[in-house]
Amino acid sequence: MIQQTTSNRLLSLDILRGITIAGMILVNNPGSWGSVYAPLQHAEWNGLTPTDLIFPFFMFIMGISTYISLRKFNFEYSKATVQKIIKRTVVIFLIGLGLAWFGLSFSTFRDLPEDGLGFFERLFQSITNFEHIRILGVMQRLAITYGITSLIAVFVKHKYIPYIIVVTLSAYFLLLLFGNGFKFSENNIISVVDRGILGVNHLYKDAGVVIDPEGLLSTIPATCHVLVGFLCGKILMEVKDNQVRITRLFIIGTILTFMGFLLNYGCPINKKIWSPTFVLATCGLASSFLALLIWIIDIKGYKKWSVFFESFGVNPLFIYVLAGVLSILTGNITFTYHGENISLHGFIYDQILQPYLGDYLSSLVFAMLFVTVTWFVGNILYKRKIYIKI
């Protein structure tokens, strides 16, 4: 997330970051939500799919990047450093909130009745529909977890961070255990707290049940996720030898993954509540995957295959936001086709792809086209060495 500028920069970090951003765009933009291949869907409740790995992998890398960024200031407190952290946290949060507002404005305008309302009145009601805006989301979670992790890194001795992670995840497990947290129900402590603080209209609804996957309570273990990445960043930067790096990452990855799947029997792996075992398992898999990429790219030098992902990896948040804006526009820009109103998204999927490729394949191809379009923009920036840091 924060660009690395040290001389011993690992290309594999950018590639893993790029893979996760491309993966996010792919799974967020199918041609039809009713026709998505199983590996590209999230687990309905407990469990883990390939798609469930994408967001936590990015947060793990964000933790590493945070270590690399703050290392330049020796992790020492200064007013300027804290102001920079807070400013960046606020900016990322507001961008996420703005993206939610942008999408809500379009959908509200589309759903308002045309009869009896003029264009400007519909427009005004749409852009001021703040009572239904979703407050939290992916960007907002990234902002909060980045901010907390960075402040901990500045104010707390790093030797205490493992204890913070263990105590926090243990306390969160007890909260879930005694708060009906493992049940898909609005009696779930996650839903109760989020509804009590934010209100039903500002939360994501899953199959009619108000359990926001980026809610307030579940942001607590998500912060531990970034802290684990931060500690792995420390391991990466303390040694220069890539062989030592991958050995340490593989050991950490194996231990965390084993713990996550072993403890799964008493604490189910669940992304939507960001359970402690979800943190352990996905951090472990991310650590092992990064070690594998270091071996492939930085040691063996097999880099040609990774060029595509590098364009995503150097401007990750900008490309993610761009994809979000394009998704909103293609889904809401409509025109008349054969006497019917149809969105640009619907035209490409229903009229061009689906008749020839069928439901599922055309849905996947649409998502791949979306990835390609955003890559094209990212590649232009990459070739011109333009790095947009949020």
Q: Which of 63, 2, 6 lies closest to 237, judged by CA? A: 6
Please give the Cα distance from 203 to 200 (Å, whole number): 6
pLDDT band at 310 (very low <50, low <70, confident <90, very high): very high
Residue for token pair 């205490």 = 160
Average pLDDT over residues 39-59: 94
| Average pLDDT of the segment spanning 116-130 | 82
Q: Residue 4's pLDDT is what?
A: 38
Instruction: Answer with the residue of higher pLDDT: 293 or 207.
Output: 293
Can you give the pLDDT at residue 49? 95
What are the two backbone dihedrals, phi and then psi, of residue 385, each rounded to the nearest 5 degrees?
55, 40
SS3 336: strand
Number of H helices, E strands in the chain: 15, 2
pLDDT tens figures, 182-237: 999 889 999 999 999 999 888 888 777 888 899 999 999 999 999 999 999 999 99
* H or E element in which residue 313 lies: helix 307-313
Question: How many residues are recorded in the chain?
Answer: 390
The residues, ordered by sequence, that sit 6+ positions from 209 with a Cβ below 8 Å of its Cβ are 184, 185, 186, 191
86: CB partners within 8 A, 6+ apart:
147
For residue 5, the model assigns a pLDDT of: 37
Cβ 292 vs Cβ 19: under 8 Å: no
For 160, phi and psi rounded to 5 degrees? -90, -10
Query: Among 295, 270, 292, which residue's Cα sits nearest to residue 281?
Result: 270
Task: Of 254, 262, 256, give the one whose Cα is nearest residue 292.
Answer: 254
Which band of pLDDT confidence, cut at 50, 70 and 90, is reported for residue 330? very high
Residues 364-376 have pLDDT tens digits of: 999 999 999 999 9
Report the DSSP beta bridge partners of residue 343: 334
Which residue type does 75 have?
F
Write down the pLDDT at residue 6: 36
112 pLDDT tier (thresholds 50, 70, 90): confident
Q: What is the pLDDT of residue 7?
A: 38
pLDDT digits (tens, 9 = 90+) for 346-364: 999 999 999 999 999 999 9
For residue 2, give both structure tokens.
């924060």
Question: What is the per-residue pLDDT for 341?
Answer: 84
Q: Where are the domains of the chain?
A: 42-301
Is the confidence at residue 317, as pLDDT, over 70? yes
For 233, what's the count of Cα atoms within 13 Å in the CB-facing half-sphere? 30
DSSP states along 239-294? ---HHHHHHHHHHHHHHHHHHHHHHTTTS---TTTT-HHHHHHHHHHHHHHHHHHI
Of 66, 96, 59, the residue nearest 278 (C-alpha): 59
Question: How confident is the model at residue 115, as a pLDDT?
Answer: 63
pLDDT in tens, 72-101: 888 988 899 999 999 999 999 999 999 999
CA–CA separation, 346 and 337 (whole Å): 11
pLDDT digits (tens, 9 = 90+) for 141-159: 999 999 999 999 999 999 9
Q: How far apart are CA 170 and CA 176, in angstroms?
A: 10
Report the pLDDT value the prediction gives residue 9, as an integer from 0 to 100: 62
pLDDT at 294: 94
Contact partners, residue 248, CB within 8 Å, separation at least 6: 235, 239
The pLDDT confidence band at residue 340, using thresholds 50, 70 and 90, is confident
User: What is the rounded CA–CA span in Å between residue 178 and residue 385?
Assistant: 52
